[in-house]
């Protein structure tokens, strides 16, 4: 199933169930699919700190056979296990229930530290949004990760600039580097090839430090009507004509 087909499913389930952060999901769909289908191993763990992008995670679980089409299209219905934010109580593959921004990275630090203490293999991948850089817990976690030399922790930032209307970050590479992390940047964070290139080299150049990867993404990627359009932050299609227009525009 290709990206365009999954994007269509994301838009359709949001339309059918009148819920979902579609543009946020399309922003991270490429990296989440890459992690689940090409990169993560048995002992790796993934935390979606920006839980409102849950439809991208559910698409990856659908792609890998962890959930069914019926599950996917039950999104946000009563008694569905797929909520607007992912729940660890309902989905075995979800490490922690997320939604309140700034909580995923602290949990990931604890998970990575536990792996270190127990001498367990594998990486902990935590995907945060750029808006989470406004949360103090992000920087407390960054400091702690360096203090405990958590070279098994990778923080991936979805830098789609949605937080720029509040506080301009410009870039977070130098900020994380100042906290002792090894920083990397992916110029086009929606390019699977560029994602692969960085994820294939960072273990050799992390210098025993936690790793920060900035994904320079486009919010709503693949749907021109939604791309970098704040109106679509938390909005669903409301008519057949609108959903047809959105789907026809996908690339």
Q: What is the pLDDT of residues 174-229, one digit of tens each?
A: 999 999 999 999 999 999 999 999 999 988 877 889 999 999 999 999 999 999 99
pLDDT tens per residue across span 142-174: 999 999 999 999 999 999 998 777 788 888 999
pLDDT for 104 equals: 97
Q: Identify whether the C-beta of residue 131 lies closer than 8 Å to the C-beta of residue 101.
A: yes
**If you average pLDDT over residues 27-45, what whole number do you get?**
97
pTM of the model: 0.96
Q: Of 219, 236, 235, which is closest to residue 227 (Cα–Cα)?
A: 219
Find residue 124's DSSP bridge partners.
45, 153
**Per the CATH hierarchy, to which homologous superfamily does domain 3-249 belong?**
Thiamin diphosphate (ThDP)-binding fold, Pyr/PP domains (3.40.50.970)
pLDDT for 122 equals: 96
Distance CA 200, CA 175 (A): 23
Token pair of 13 as six digits = 């389930």
**If you average pLDDT over residues 71-79, what whole number do you get?**
96
Distance CA 79, CA 43 (A): 30
């Amino acid at each position: 199933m290709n990206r365009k087909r999954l994007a269509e499913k994301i838009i359709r389930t949001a339309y059918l169930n009148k819920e979902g952060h579609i543009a946020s999901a399309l922003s991270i769909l490429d990296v989440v699919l890459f992690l689940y289908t090409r990169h993560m191993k048995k002992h790796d763990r993934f935390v979606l700190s920006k839980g409102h992008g849950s439809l991208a995670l559910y698409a990856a679980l659908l792609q890998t056979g962890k959930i069914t089409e019926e599950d996917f299209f039950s999104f946000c219905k009563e008694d569905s296990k797929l909520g607007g934010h992912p729940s660890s109580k309902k989905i075995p593959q979800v490490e922690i229930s997320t939604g309140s921004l700034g909580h995923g990275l602290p949990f990931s630090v604890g998970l990575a530290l536990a792996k270190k203490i127990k001498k367990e293999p594998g990486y902990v991948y935590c995907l945060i949004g750029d808006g989470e850089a406004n949360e103090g817990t992000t920087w407390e976690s960054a400091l702690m990760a360096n203090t405990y030399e958590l070279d098994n922790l990778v923080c991936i930032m979805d830098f789609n600039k949605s937080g720029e209307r509040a506080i301009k970050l410009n870039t977070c590479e130098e900020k994380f580097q100042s906290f002792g992390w090894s920083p990397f940047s992916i110029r086009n964070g929606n390019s699977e090839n560029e994602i692969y290139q960085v994820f294939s080299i960072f273990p050799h150049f992390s210098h025993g430090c936690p790793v920060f990867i900035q994904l320079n993404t486009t919010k709503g990627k693949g749907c021109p009507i939604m791309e970098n359009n704040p109106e679509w932050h938390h909005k669903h299609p409301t008519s057949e004509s609108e959903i047809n227009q959105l789907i026809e525009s996908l690339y």
